[in-house]
Amino acid sequence: MIISSATLNALRTTFNAQFNQALKNVAPSFQKIATIVPSSSKSNTYGWLGASSEFREWVGERVFNDLSEHAYTITNKTFENSVQVKRDDIEDDNLGVYTPMVQNLAQKGGMFPDKLVYQLLAAGFTTACYDGQNFFDAEHPVNDKHDGTGTDELVSNVIIDGTYTGEPWFLLDTSQVLKPLIFQERRKLALTTKFNPNDESVFNANTFKFGADLRCNAGFGFWQMAIGVKKALSLDTLWDAWEQMEAMKHDGGEPMELSPTLLVVGPSNRKLAMQLMNRETIDDGGTAVSNELKGMFEVLVAPRLK
């Protein structure tokens, strides 16, 4: 095959079609726990995180709450995955060997947000959120007045058994406007081909190059919407996590009215999580007890948590 502009344009079209078709078949799950927030700059600052107020009867003039601000910033990062095509393969019309590479770029790129989001979730025990505490922490400050002038109560969204060595698991409320995590998207995943016969890489290395890239990052939303657990998954521990979330309050003492919807586990807890959500009875030390939590939460198994 003679390598010409027409040949390279056709190759570019073929690769893009293969990439886009493969991307349609990718099914990430990060959207279940993270809100997608478009970004149009280097970073986004979420100063309103932690700000909350309640409705009151309108008597006289409006009462403007002096809401505290938090300088929580998510800075976008650029990620890439690139390969190269031998010039000889184009000449010999041997491009079928590269089809899996193009499809793999799409699959890996389409699933990459899962990697960012679930790794961040797992790191929440040691990574700070908007209030300066770790996302999963026993000492989140919640003020007893709307304007922040009162006394802070230290509130926990974590359950830890110091002897537990298994995978962490999480109980989340994903029904709110903002989910517990944020996926910030600056530039969507796209394939870029560098098919120029006069390119330096063709002259020096006899190769044409192509790759996929995206610009994004992940961050934390409201810690109250997530309970992080490092304790054996059981009926009792699930109840403890649920009750802990339902006790969450706004600044000022008003209940947040949260209710968990999603149980996120790693592969080692898959079987037990499915049993807890599907069986009528559960074994409790050799005794079958009624499973009152059957079907209460959706189960999401995240391989990145192992």
Q: Which residues of 129-168 are buried (b: 16+ CB within 10 A; e: fewer)?
A: bbbebbbbbeebbbbeebebeeeeeebbbbbeeeeeeebb
Ranges of the chain whose pLDDT falls below 70: 1-4, 51-54, 64-70, 92-95, 146-149, 195-205
